[in-house]
Chain A
Amino acid sequence: MRPHHLLSIADLGRDGIAEVLSVAEAFAEVERRSMPKVPTLRGKVVATLFFEESTRTRLSFETAAKRLSADVLSLAVASSSVKKGESLRDTVETVEAMGIDALIIRHASAGAPHRVAAWATRARVINAGDGWHEHPTQALLDCFTVRQVLAERKGAAPEELGVDCFEGLRVLIVGDIRHSRVARSEVLAYSALGARVTLAAPGSLLPPSLEGWPVTVASDFDAALGDTDVVSLLRLQAERGSGSFVPSLREYTAGWGLTTRRVALLGDEAIVTHPGPMVRGVEIASEVADLPRTVVTQQVTNGVAVRMAILFLLLGGEWPGVHADG
């Protein structure tokens, strides 16, 4: 059964993720057309409510909605009634009263999309990042990109690989895991697909408890690099106060940055992902960011197709060739 909202990767499970990747593959094909637009969601209205700064995620969602021919409303919080003291609930109810079909929300508070989902009467809610909690579409596009690279190397279509290609895949997530919503979604997504997830971070940037997490923690970062297929780098969230969790950026880079020395420890086939924005010279050396194995640009490109898939699956548009009722 499909979820009503996308609040967490846990709403999807292995089969749900597989379906998203499959539908996204079809939309990636649309994107390669000279006229990359389909009438799938004509008449639907999608609103983006970003209560926190974002450029790429918001643009990506809005592009995805437009390519599906949905109408897009975007609430600019800085100039909205939120600044006049309107509550999140009233804002949501006001926007929903305009006949919105999907609310895409980013908020600095973990769980804000869950509250919005509880208040919404008919709109579908998509979590575009909530505090330190989750960023489900980012993890989905990371999986999509990894599969794409693996397929390319095999000379196969990504669809042929299914999600079996993730079975036993060694994924190393590095950096500020404590404050990272990307890390939480990636752990859930990769492990649901059968990957073996390892975390590498200074102790102060690990979550206080990893009880129930399907992960191991690397005791030696350098050694772990030699034993991995995918390295997922995270940004040090200095604006969330993460700076004070390590003595200095210099020490962080020395201990946990993917430097030119460390990248040489990786196997030839290892892929490097980063959710962006990258801070060159901190978590990733500039030269490493520009290596072919670093797939940041591909991730951004794929973000649109993956978000088209999410909108399509939640809003139930018609799509010839893709089964619409899973």
Chain B
Amino acid sequence: MQMADASLVLRGGSVVTPDGVRRLDVAIGEDIVVALEPTIHPPGGAVVLDARGCLIGPGLVDLHTHLRQPGREEAETVESGARAAALGGFTAVLAMPNTEPAIDSAGVARDVLALGRAALAEVAVSGAITVGRAGKALAPLGELAELGVRIFTDDGSGVQDGALMRRALDYAKGLGVTLAQHCEDDNLSAGGAMHEGCWSSRLGLPGIPAVAEESMVARDIQLVRLTGAPVHFLHLSTAGSVQLVRLAKAEGLPVTAEAAPHHMVLTHAEVVGYDPVFKVNPPLRTESDVAAVIAGLCDGTIDAVATDHAPHAPESKDVPFDEAPPGMLGLQTALPIAWQVLSPTLAPERIFALMSSQPAAIAGLTLTDWRRAGHSAQGGPLEAGATANICVFDPGAVTVVDAARLASRSRNTPYAGRSFSGAVRHTILRGEPVVIDAVAQR
């Protein structure tokens, strides 16, 4: 059929719908998907993108992106981070509030949102739970919620004080927002540079035991039970944490969880050469933890793959292991890694759900009347009338990671020289092809 009002047509691909994959062309007019048909003849003047052999899914949504602006612009900016996101197939990212200053006031939140308006991916912000992320006093959650902030976290550290966390949950419940916890008991992890285990013992590096994470997951599940307020668990990394969340969900408690790609493919054995690109928090764990994280993603215990994209300027990683800040790049490698790890077990629509609809729902980005809300509806499903936020992924291609060619201002990828199956080909943001054939268009 011919689409008179289509300005962009994706031809030859297969659309990932909630019910499965179907061979369909996609026509987009302005910022809206106008038709999905087996064959669409593009009108004259329409841009046509080749999608043969590709999956056409909803644009990816990252719950966990460190954009470093304001304060650490030498490592990343909203502009460069959003560019990396677009190249990774993301059409929205949730900026973490551990900037300098922290996103703990409407002023800082407004600045970051304004910077995101012209970016290659939509930028939503999460706010800090406590003032300056210092864990002492509640940040103005209400003021931030007024701006549309739906997720609050002190990420980078957990809220240590159980009474303060309880008060934050009681307060958040009334606002309809979700607290997201970086689970780490600072006393148990004090001084740690990597996972505590056989490798830390051999390498002589102070360790972060699994229990530092698990004890806070356990505490917060009890606080959810007490308050009834939802909690989202950030970057689960241990088998014990996954099991705690699994049991909490079975009980019907309002908890959600995410896992990072590096916790799906890398273990603490990577630290053997003391290269700080393998330093991250939570740290790379054991093979059985990796298996548990993957099992959690496959059985629905973990709701989202979230990158924890954490850029650091080269000079800050060019130091001895224990002196380096934790964190690794992740936006441009997330989908190929998830695909490689999960596609043997999960159908494409399940993988896209973990990276698009489910994180969008957790972050409150699935709005239908998006013009009023200030950002577009994210997370699909791709159907006529939906906002055209789209990721076109070629599962037959290969992503070879070249650190020098990443869009981030930083180079701290742990995957330099590695290959993963599948590659992001095109990204469509509100109808605009911002990435075509793996090249950013502006």
Mark each residue of chain B from 305 to 331: 1 if its CB lies under 8 Å from any CB of chain A, else 0.
000000000010011111100000000
How many chain B residues sit at the interface, stated as a range, is: 20 to 34
Is B45 an interface residue, CB under 8 A from the partner? Answer: no
- Residues of the A chain whose Cβ atoms lie less than 8 Å from the Cβ of B273: 111, 114, 118
Complex Cα–Cα for A212 and B205 (A): 16
Task: State A210–B200 Cα separation when bound (angstroms).
Answer: 10
Q: Which A residues touch B274, using CB under 8 A? A: 110-112, 114-115
The reply on A89 being an interface residue by CB < 8 A is: yes
* A184 CA to B320 CA, complexed, in Å: 19
Is B185 engaged at the interface, CB distance under 8 Å to the other chain?
no
Task: Knowing A209-B198, A211-B198, A212-B202 are in contact, say whether A109-B207 is a contact too (CB < 8 A).
Answer: no
From known contacts A89-B319, A110-B274, A111-B321, infer whether A132 and B197 are also in contact, taking CB-CB under 8 Å.
no
- Measured between beta carbons, the chain B residues less than 8 angstroms from A87 are 315, 318-319
A208 to B206, CA, bound (A): 10
Residues from chain B with a CB closer than 8 A to the CB of A110 are 203-205, 274, 320-322
In angstroms, Cα B322 to Cα A302, docked, is 33
Q: Which A residue's beta carbon lies closest to that of B199?
A: A209
Q: How many chain A residues touch the partner (CB < 8 A)? A: 25
B296 within 8 A of A: no
B319, A208: Cβ atoms closer than 8 Å? no
For the complex formed, measure the closest distance between the CB of B207 and the CB atoms of chain A, giving whole angstroms. Answer: 6
| Chain A residues with CB under 8 A of B319 | 87-89, 115
CA distance A23 to B416 in the complex (A): 41
* Shortest CB distance B440–A (Å): 32
Q: How far is the CA of A132 from the CA of B197 in the complex (A)?
A: 15
A114-B273, A114-B274, A208-B196 known; A107 and B320 CB under 8 Å?
yes
**B-side contacts of A202, CB under 8 Å:** none
Residues of B within 8 A of A211 (CB): 197-198, 201
- Residues of B at the A interface (CB closer than 8 Å) are 196-198, 200-207, 209, 273-275, 315, 318-323
Is B196 touching A131 in the complex (CB atoms < 8 A)? Answer: no
**Does residue A130 face the partner (Cβ distance < 8 Å to B)?**
yes
Pair count A-B, CB < 8 A: 73
- Out of B198, B204, B321, B323, name the residue touching A181 (CB < 8 Å): B204
Q: Are A209 and B201 CB-contacts (below 8 A) given A109-B320, A114-B273, A115-B319?
A: yes
A111 and B202 contacting across the interface, CB-CB below 8 Å: no
User: What distance in Å separates the Cβ of A51 from its nearest Cβ neighbour in chain B?
Assistant: 9
A133 surroundings in chain B (CB, below 8 A): 203-205
Checking B204, B275, B315, B318 against A184 with a beta-carbon cut-off of 8 angstroms, the contacting residue is B204
List 18 A-B residue pairs with CB atoms under 8 Å apart, sorted by A's residue number: A88-B320, A107-B320, A110-B203, A110-B274, A110-B322, A114-B274, A115-B320, A115-B321, A118-B275, A130-B204, A131-B205, A132-B204, A132-B206, A133-B203, A133-B204, A133-B205, A208-B207, A209-B200
Interface string of A60-100 (1 = CB under 8 A from B): 00000000000000000000000000011100000000000
**Would you list the 4 A-B pairs with minimal beta carbon distance, nearest first?**
A111-B274, A133-B204, A109-B320, A132-B204
Which residues from A are CB-within-8-Å of B207?
Answer: 208
10 more contacts with CB within 8 A, not counting A112-B320, A181-B204, A210-B201, are A107-B320, A110-B205, A110-B320, A111-B321, A111-B322, A115-B321, A118-B273, A132-B204, A133-B203, A209-B196
Determine the distance from Cα of A89 to Cα of B274 in the docked complex, in whole angstroms.
14
What's the nearest-Cβ distance from chain B to residue A316, in Å?
25
Q: With an 8 A cutoff between CB atoms, is A207 at the interface?
A: yes
Rounded to whole angstroms, the CA-CA distance of A111 and B272 in the bound complex is 9
Beyond A87-B318, A89-B319, A110-B322, whether A208 also contacts B204 by CB under 8 A is no
Once the chains bind, are A111 and B205 in contact (CB under 8 Å)?
yes
Are B315 and A208 in touch, CB under 8 angstroms?
no
Interfacial residues of chain A within 103-133, with CB under 8 A of chain B in the complex: 107, 109-112, 114-115, 118, 130-133
B201 touches A208 (CB 8 A): yes
Query: Hey, which chain A residues are within 8 Å of B203, CB to CB?
Result: 110-111, 133
Contacts of B320 in A (CB 8 A): 88, 107, 109-112, 115
- What separation, in Å, do the CA atoms of A210 and B209 have in the docked complex? 15
Residues of B within 8 A of A131 (CB): 204-205, 322
- The answer, among A134, A210, A213, for a CB contact under 8 Å with B204, is A134
Residues 206-236 of chain A: 1 if any B CB is under 8 Å from the residue's CB, otherwise 0? 0111111100000000000000000000000
Which residue of the partner chain, among A112, A132, A181, A208, contacts B209 with CB atoms under 8 Å? A208
A111–B201 CA distance with the chains assembled, in angstroms: 13
Chain B residue numbers with a CB within 8 Å of A208 are 196-197, 200-201, 207, 209
Q: Which residue of A lies closest to B274 (CB)?
A: A111
Residue of B whose beta carbon sits closest to that of A183 = B204
Cα distance A107–B204 in the bound complex, in angstroms = 13
Q: How far is the CA of A324 from the CA of B83 in the complex (A)?
A: 56
- Chain B residues with Cβ below 8 Å from A181 are 204
Contacts of A134 in B (CB 8 A): 204
Q: A87, A89, A118, A209: which has the most chain B beta carbons within 10 Å?
A: A209
**Alpha-carbon distance between A109 and B202 when the two chains are bound, in angstroms:** 14
In the complex, what's the smallest C-beta–C-beta distance from A183 to chain B, in angstroms?
10
Q: Which residue of B lies closest to A208 (CB)?
A: B196
Nearest-CB distance from A29 to chain B (Å)? 35
A188, closest chain B residue (CB): B202
Q: Could you tell me if A209 and B205 are in contact, using CB atoms closer than 8 angstroms?
A: no
A:154-201 near B, CB below 8 Å: 181, 184
Task: Return B227 CB to nearest CB of chain A, in Å.
Answer: 35
* CB <8 Å contact, B321 and A89: no
**Which of A109, A212, A213 interacts with B321 by CB under 8 Å?**
A109
For A209, list chain B residues within 8 Å (CB): 196-198, 200-201
A183 and B233 CA atoms in complex are apart in Å by: 39
A250–B389 alpha-carbon span in the complex (Å): 68
A207–B205 CA distance with the chains assembled, in angstroms:
10
Whether A109 contacts B323 in the complex (CB less than 8 A), given A133-B204, A134-B204, A207-B201, comes out as yes
